[in-house]
């Protein structure tokens, strides 16, 4: 058997972890007839719509997330720069919960990956940029459905 390069094994391991996360986070999206929330990029609102049954309430939850997430990225970057990884981990745990609660599956996945990287000692990684892009996309998607935005 040939020896394997550590980088190759690391990339393979991350790919397998990413695939497992896809299965955990990605649900089958079933459009709800007449819902303005169908096909919101990066979101799967099927369970949320079934559970709450009130589109206005879901939009209000998204609005709260939108308002509360204004400083998330800068706060995370500051925590990473200052080496305050306990605060960063707590913030990411909160973001994961919020993203899951509002059906932001792409943001949930990016949060999980970033958290894993930080826990493995990789505070500066491509996961940071991926998270930033995904957060921006989630905020833009939410903004597109908010009245008056």
- Write out the residue range of the structural domain in which residue 100 sits: 40-145
CB atoms within 10 A of CB 90: 12
> What tokens were used for 41?
């990029």
**Residue 114 lies inside a defined structural domain of this protein:** yes
Q: How many CA atoms lie within 13 A of 86 on its CB side?
A: 0
Q: How far apart are CA 75 and CA 88, in angstroms?
A: 8
CATH number of the domain to which 99 belongs = 1.20.120.160
For residue 124, the model assigns a pLDDT of 74
Closest CA to 48 of 111, 115, 98, 110: 98
Q: Against a cut of 0.85, is the pTM above it?
A: no
Domain count, the chain: 1
Residue ranges in the chain whose pLDDT is less than 70:
1-36, 38, 149
Contact, 92 vs 118, CB < 8 A?
yes
């Amino acid at each position: 058997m040939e020896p394997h390069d550590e980088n190759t094994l690391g990339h393979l391991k991350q790919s397998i972890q990413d695939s497992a996360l896809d299965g955990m986070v990605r649900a089958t999206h079933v459009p709800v007839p007449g819902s303005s929330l169908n096909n919101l990029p990066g979101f799967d609102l099927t369970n949320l719509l079934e559970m709450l049954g009130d589109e206005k309430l879901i939009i209000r939850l998204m609005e709260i997330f939108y308002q509360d997430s204004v400083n998330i990225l800068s706060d995370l970057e500051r925590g990473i720069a200052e080496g305050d990884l306990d605060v960063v981990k707590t913030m990411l745990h909160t973001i994961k919960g919020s993203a899951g609660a509002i059906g932001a599956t792409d943001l949930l996945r990016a949060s999980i990956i970033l958290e894993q990287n930080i826990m493995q000692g990789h505070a500066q990684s491509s996961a940071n940029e991926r998270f930033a892009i995904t957060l921006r996309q989630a905020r833009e998607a939410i903004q597109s459905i908010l009245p008056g935005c």
